[in-house]
Amino acid sequence: MFYYLGIRDRLHTLLSDPLISQHMFNIAKVYDPKGDVRNIQQSKGWQEHITNDVPFATGNGGRNIVLQGHMDGFQAFRHKVHTMTPITCQILNLPENLRHRAEFIILVGLIPGPREPTNYNAYTSVWVKELQDLYTDGMEMDDPLNKGTKMTIRVKLLNLCADLPAFQHLLYQQGSSAHDGCFKCYIKVSCDFVIMRYDFVIMRYLTLHCDMACFRASKHRIAPVSAIIRS
């Protein structure tokens, strides 16, 4: 069983509120390759996938919605092993002091358990289909900031955040202690490291031998959406 709530209705409710809608601008910060990234809007990923997508970035006066997905299982009960896996989205248009608040987090769906699924595609396929529709066709609604006018809001998922076990299931890969433990490159870990079976040793090996940009992305558990959709 899968409880799918979707994105469209919740997003429509939030955008219909003028006080919330006035904060929903995907304004890109200045990207400096040598500077600190203090906000995701200053990141290289935002520059490549949002700013450079000019029709999306400038459509509706810069009010198209950028989302970040999250997926992770948790133990729902104290004295019983029962894993539930929520799928949630965070609205990156919102200022950082608002986007982390519970009332602005979108609960997309809930995999009720009792165990964490081994095949996520059975559950994420409907989510991916809705995201594709919202990106290509958009969502028509009344503009709360300009009474009497309509607007078509498009939605784009920038990235997905999850822990390593979730990515292993999503991308059909082995654990970080496997020979091919990195989902971004093809560097193989030597047998001596694998036999020890300690994740921190494997990550230390990747730090020394894997491309640093690749390792940092793996360490912070951020995967490109294209990799999720391809799986």
CA distances from 54 to 92, 94, 133, 141 (A): 17, 20, 19, 22
pLDDT in tens, 49-59: 888 898 998 88
Lowest-pLDDT range, 27-36, 37-46, 82-91? 27-36
User: For the chain, which residues make up each domain, given as ranges?
Assistant: 1-161, 163-231
CB 50 within 8 Å of CB 28? yes
| Cα–Cα distance for residue pair 148/164, rounded to 1 Å | 47
Q: What is the pTM of this model?
A: 0.76
Residue 180 binned pLDDT confidence (cut-offs 50, 70, 90): low
pLDDT in tens, 135-152: 999 999 999 888 889 999
CA dihedral 170, 116, 107, 173 (to 10 degrees): -10
Task: Provide the mean pLDDT of the chain.
Answer: 77
Burial category of 41 from C-beta neighbours within 10 Å (exposed 0-12, middle 13-18, buried 19 and up): buried
Closest among 196, 226, 190 to 209, alpha carbons compared: 190
More confident residue, 171 or 210: 171
What integer is the mean pLDDT of 161-167? Answer: 79
Share of residues in the chain with pLDDT > 70 (%) = 73
